[in-house]
Chain A
Amino acid sequence: MNADDKVIQVQSLQTRFFTQDGAVAAVEGLSFDVVSGEMIGLVGESGCGKSTAALSILRLLPPQGRIVGGEIILNGRDIVPLSNSQMRTVRGAEVAMIFQDSLAALDPTMKVGAQLMEPLQIHRGMSGQDARKVAAELLAKVGIPAPEERLESYPHQFSGGMRQRAMIAIALSCNPRLLIADEPTTALDVTVQKQILQLMLRLRDETGAGVVIITHDVGVVAETCDRVVVMYAGREVESGLTREVFVAPAHPYTIGLLGSTLDLNRDRKASLQAIPGLPPTLINLPPGCPFWPRCARQTEICHAQTPVLEAVGAGHEAACWHLDGKV
């Protein structure tokens, strides 16, 4: 793993939403990187800033959102200062996005084939005929049989799983070095979820692209991701190799997150542990650890100072004042 392989380096990214009630720190000092052929998971509850992080990387924040600090180095260059028209040559070509709801993310009035051809026409300047050929190959690549005929179908004629495959094909069409998948399996049946995840793993191996999966589903991360970044209230609270983080979670939030998933091997009564309380609103967050109101380990220092990330193992770090677990 050398530094040249890094497809993206996010360094202390800060994204704010400027609302009528004040500035919302949706992402606060997030750092992670992805190397070629790696899949990492961005995990957290809804509202923790993981989707905002994805939109920041694509520079597709809504008008009131802005990146106020940090760097996003994509394929060796910082994309934060790029203009909108420069970003258009990046989106789809260097970084592509897979959306959660494939029915909503495909134009209902346009054939799937035409939608597959669009990125090729935009970025490669391909003629209709050439793009069509590539589009058929792409559909075959994502495991859709009879791709030639399927190009002529409309999105509503596809099943949910097929639509998600088509979405992946669109994202892959220009061979981006980085794929961002925002809850790619959440809208799918469990059986189809597995197929889609396996497809993504296979395509990652074939193309060597880096993949960021954004999800609240710990199971998805455990099955697919090499590394995981756990986010809470816009901050990274823990990160490391998936195996390490899941076997020996260091941050109380991660422990809570893992404890709130079903495990059939455990005693049924004791198996489901909810984290008490609600995530904080991100407007004018008080100083201190954002997790303390819900934390069993809280002490004076948690209320006063924000903990910084500390190493707890090889490449495994967490931000907590009481990493030893003692209060």
Chain B
Amino acid sequence: MTANASAASVSEPFAAPKPRSLWTDAARTFSRNKAGMTGLVVAILVLLVAAFAPLIAPYDFADQDWDHVREGPSAQHLMGTDSLGRDLFSRVVMGVRTAVFVAMIVTFSTAMIGVLVGALGALMGGWVDAVAVWIMDGLLNFPSLWLAAFVSVVSKPIIARLAQNIYAATQWSFMQDTVVLDYLVVFVCLSFVWWAGLGRLVRGQVLSLREKEFIEAQRAIGAPPMWITMRHLVPNVLGQVIVHMSSQFGFAMLSESSLSFLGIGIRPPGASLGAMIFAGMANWRSDPHLVAMPGLTLAVIVLAFVFVGDALNDALNPRIRER
């Protein structure tokens, strides 16, 4: 065989299949998962409701109507009214908006912190890694709600002072709003408690990726460390991070409600599903809908996000996808 012939004699069939990326592949696998698709529909609906809450809510969530107190579901009030005559449906819609808003911020910030700390620890090794692992293990070994409650109590005066200073400097009036303050405290304490799980996941992923041959091959072509991290490590960890974030989203909403239920989250006049459940607890025997409506809403939403997370895991995890 001559040199030229060998070039021409490649015998592999070249009806080039349409290029399908890992992401298109994942989308196909995901779309075949019924629970995942149902979850996705609910999740999108929830996000839409949160985005357009003031348009969807038929009444102002704070308007009291003393002629219609603690009524069951009716045509005027889809989910009935509470003990102050406020429309429960409007309140649930606004509560969902609150929970989604908190979950978005918390999921995003935990992702940032978790990826940063996890990747940094794995890449730098040595004492940086040791400290990172030590902190993450420490955080993960506390009951998260207990820790969140503790952090919220501790951080509240600090954040309040900070908000005052910002107000003094900028005259932004919303910095004096107690609801805004509640939000800030919830962001801080949930992010503080939650980034460790993702941090540990990312660290493990990066550690195993670093030993992979394609990273070695990158070093062999002279790629600088930053290049390898941004172009090869991050995209390969991204799937796992997305899976984690999607299932955590639901739990972040649940945690906001739990804190509010305990009275250390979003408090009136802010709307929260947890606070509504707590308020309804007093009369749950006579008016179960006051607990059931916000409770069921929350349960359905959390379940939906868990389904989405599971389906994403099946779709993005190559080891499972083979099945």
Contacts and interface: CB of A to CB of B under 8 A. Distances in A.
A110 B213 contact: no
B16 A149 contact: yes
A27 to B, nearest CB: 18
Contact of A143 (B7, B20, B221, B232): B7
A122 B223 contact: yes
A191 to B, nearest CB: 8
Nearest to B221: A92
B220 A108 contact: no
B22 A89 contact: no
A128 to B, nearest CB: 13
Contacts of A106: 214, 217
Among B1, B6, B212, the most chain A Cβ lie within 10 Å of the Cβ of B6
Contact of A108 (B10, B22, B224, B227): B22
A60 B220 contact: yes
A146 B235 CA distance: 27
Of the four ranges (under 10, 10 to 19, 20 to 34, 35 or more), the interface on chain A belongs to 35 or more
Given A58-B220, A88-B222, A202-B3, A105 B214 contact: yes
A162 interface: yes
A225 interface: no
Contact of A157 (B19, B219, B231, B318): B19
A154 B22 contact: yes
Given A91-B219, A96-B221, A104 B213 contact: yes
Of the four ranges (under 10, 10 to 19, 20 to 34, 35 or more), the interface on chain B belongs to 20 to 34
Contacts of B221: 91-92, 96, 118-119, 122, 170-171
Given A143-B10, A145-B10, A122 B227 contact: yes
Nearest to B223: A122
A89 B222 CA distance: 6
B213 A105 contact: yes
A201 B22 contact: no
Given A198-B1, A201-B3, A119 B222 contact: yes
Contacts of A122: 221-224, 227
A198 B219 contact: no
B236 A92 contact: no
Contacts of A92: 220-223
Contacts of B22: 108-109, 154
A152 interface: yes
B20 A157 contact: yes
A122 B225 CA distance: 12
A199 interface: yes
Given A88-B224, A122-B223, 10 more contacts: A87-B222, A89-B222, A97-B217, A104-B212, A106-B214, A109-B235, A111-B21, A122-B221, A162-B12, A202-B7
